[in-house]
Chain A
Amino acid sequence: MAEPLLEIRGLHVEVDGKPILRGIDLVLEQGEVAAIMGPNGSGKSTLAHVLAGREGYQVTQGEVRYLGRDLLALPAEERAREGVFLAFQYPVEIPGVSNTYFMRAALNAIRKHRGLEELDGLDFVKLLREKLKLIHLEQDLLNRPVNAGFSGGEKKRNEIFQMAVLEPRLAILDETDSGLDIDALRIVSDGVNALRGKERGILVVTHYQRLLTYIVPDRVHVLAGGRIVKTGDRTLALELEEKGYAGLGAAAGNPA
């Protein structure tokens, strides 16, 4: 069997001295889609940000291996170039920078890192157009500034569009479903499903089971009180939908 894409061992993380993650153990295999579910404040978004390399989090214990390498030793941009992608819960608006310009700079930074030639303008635009179709975005999006003036749904779709363009090995979707209506949820899910692949791992961080009827996970982890308190198959998500997170309090030994 291929080596795991991601291995998190005993990860403890604090923010301003306050423990948020209290010993996360999690393995994501290549080709696997795993959901991380949990109530508000359980540490889901912290985990997503720590994996992407956001500053302001103190890792006090534990390690994270990405294809066998020490992920935490790399700055955010190195992780991105090595194939880690975070779809933001709140994508940032950047007025004055067009999507095309941004994506071209990002893709070429990644390609350069991998020893590939930079894409020329024509090939690049062709690539962008192809990927736009995947998530039903209009072409005018390419000339618009990154996320500026976008609706909530457009911002989330733009994240998946970026993922499609950058083709990461490890994609972390941080509450990509939040704020989406059913149509947008379906479009985003179809986009993500089209990006499933043998080598690619996807971590779907969500509060709701709803998303998982469209993006069917191979495994479901339940995060509560900064730890993974339960792991199961997709039926665990349905169970959570019925009983709520409170029902897991005993198992967590740490009521959320």
Chain B
Amino acid sequence: MTSHATMKDARTARWAEIDRGAAPAWLQAARRTAFERSMALGFPTTRLEAWRHTDVTPIARATFAAPEAGESSRMAPLAAAATLAGIAGPVLVFVNGHYAPALSKSGALAPGVRIESLAAAWAGRDTARLESYVDPEPETAAHAFTALNTALAVDGALIVIPRGVRLEAPIQLVFVAGPESDGPVESHPRVLVVAGPDSQATVVEIHAGQGASFTNASTEIIVGDAATVTHHRIQRASEAAFHIARTQARLGRDAHFESFVLGLGAALGRNDVDVRFDATGGECTLDGLWIHAGTQHADHQTFVDHREPHCTSRQLYKGVLGGTAHGVFNGRVLVRPNAQQTNAQQRNNNLLLSKAALVDTKPELEIHADDVRCTHGATIGRLDSQALFYLRSRGLDAPAAYEMLVQAFAREVLERTRDAALRAAYDGMAAERLLALAAGIAAGEGAA
């Protein structure tokens, strides 16, 4: 028997065990539907347009254990290192998908605010409200991983912000994945953020870990009327890890959603950000920066579904690639017939630091309304030799000049983070990574 079949059996057994456990009826039904869907779909293949450049057979072929919740102190140093220092606000830590209360701190919360383990919420009394947040639209074939997450997610974070409440301090959700004694592990963490009308919150989702783990994260964000939600996904998974993540946001009337994705880790990474305008006047900003080297593969996809008039979407995704890394960007914008006065902008710029690095970028605009403004642009380039000479002619050596130019390229995205403390933290992470890349380049072909 192949390990693929073994894992299929293992996941079936895991689901059956979850199915036997106590859960509200609606959740059990949702898990059953999702499980059947995910088994029917299997893992996506490169024959699917949305997965054309990303081959997930390495994930399908590998074997992963799914540890129970339990002793998490061993992962404490990793969790501490992954948590952003000097940032006020609650921190929820999850070890291999399970909430680790001993490593978390919540602090005092405003009345009605919920920031807690999803498993606890599901086991709680009032789950009818949670049911109302379930998106009735079924997963498409492109999102078999999301279906798998729905079927197998046993924990994660629930964040509920009541009407009119504005949380200043960001909420950190720290997910650490690490090997157990019996080998690499998989987890399917789930995050649900519900921002009531006129509320405001910033959620920072951090993924870090060790070893060849497989994380399949799914985050749903419901942005109420006139609410503002900022979601940052900081992907610092181990460079041996498989990391699949999807963020889905549904926006109410005049709602604002800001998404930033910083992709640094994983051997094979896939990140989807999907935004759906369910009412008029919504606005979203989707930013991304990924910096990869070695043999890393990173696939970033966005999908903005303009269903209603007078909504604005802006996207800026930038990639820096060295070594033989492969980056993919696919930005899909759908403007439905009803969505007049849509303003959709999209830009993807890529910087290649080595001859063997590769980028596939594709804007995908599908416009069915006639009174809209949609722009898109994609570039793939190398460091400007004139700019390099200019810097060197002022006394900077080649590594310093490379570093300065690469940092400048990345800065355009980084400086869009409004929270100064978060911006400084991300600057530091990006700088550390870029410095290593720039030094490698200057020492290699760049010096020629």
Contacts and interface: CB of A to CB of B under 8 A. Distances in A.
Nearest to A83: B395
Contacts of A85: 393
B387 A106 contact: no
B26 interface: no
A54 B389 contact: yes
Contacts of A97: 404-405, 407-408
Contacts of A86: 393
Interface stretch (A73-81, A115-123, A205-213, A241-249): A73-81
A96 B400 contact: no
A106 B396 contact: yes
B409 interface: yes
18 contacts: A54-B389, A76-B392, A77-B392, A77-B401, A79-B393, A80-B392, A80-B395, A92-B384, A94-B387, A94-B405, A96-B407, A96-B409, A97-B407, A106-B391, A106-B396, A107-B395, A109-B396, A166-B395
Contacts of B397: 77, 109
Contacts of B79: none
A53 B393 contact: yes
B364 interface: no
Nearest to A146: B390
A109 B395 CA distance: 6
Contacts, number: 74
A113 interface: yes
B384 A102 contact: no
Contact of B408 (A75, A81, A96): A96
Interface in A47-69: 52-55
Given A96-B408, A96-B411, A106 B395 contact: yes
A91 B390 CA distance: 8
Contact of A102 (B392, B398, B404): B404
A150 interface: no
B47 interface: no
B129 interface: no
A55 B388 CA distance: 11
Given A105-B400, A109-B400, A94 B393 contact: no
Contacts of B401: 77
A106 B397 CA distance: 9
A170 to B, nearest CB: 12
Nearest to B414: A96
A81 B412 contact: no
Contacts of B385: 55
Contacts of B411: 96
Interface of B: 384-387, 389-398, 400-401, 404-405, 407-409, 411-412
A189 interface: no
Interface in A105-156: 105-107, 109-110, 113, 145
A77 B395 contact: yes
A99 B389 CA distance: 16
A105 B405 contact: no
Nearest to B412: A96
A162 B389 CA distance: 15
A94 B411 CA distance: 12
| Interface size of A as a range | 20 to 34
A95 interface: yes
A17 B202 CA distance: 60
Given A94-B408, A95-B408, A109-B400, A75 B395 contact: no
A95 B396 contact: no
A17 to B, nearest CB: 19
Contacts of B394: 80, 102, 106, 109, 162, 166
Nearest to B409: A96
A102 B398 CA distance: 14
Contacts of B404: 94, 97, 102, 105
A95 B389 contact: no
Nearest to B390: A92
A214 interface: no
A72 to B, nearest CB: 15
Contact of B412 (A79, A95, A162, A166): A95
A114 B184 CA distance: 54
Given A77-B395, A106-B395, A94 B412 contact: no
A76 B392 CA distance: 6
A152 B384 CA distance: 20
Given A80-B392, A95-B412, A145-B408, 17 more contacts: A55-B389, A77-B392, A77-B393, A77-B396, A77-B401, A79-B393, A93-B387, A94-B391, A94-B408, A97-B408, A102-B391, A105-B400, A106-B391, A106-B395, A109-B400, A110-B395, A166-B395
B29 to A, nearest CB: 51
Nearest to B411: A96
A109 B412 CA distance: 25
A92 B387 contact: yes
10 pairs of A and B residues whose beta carbons are closest in the complex: A96-B408, A80-B395, A106-B394, A92-B390, A109-B395, A76-B392, A96-B411, A77-B392, A110-B395, A97-B408
A107 B394 CA distance: 8
Nearest to A49: B389
Nearest to B406: A96
Nearest to A148: B408
B387 A81 contact: no
A7 to B, nearest CB: 21
Given A96-B411, A97-B404, A52 B396 contact: no
A162 B395 CA distance: 12
A113 B407 CA distance: 24
A81 B389 contact: no
Interface string A168-184: 00000000000000000
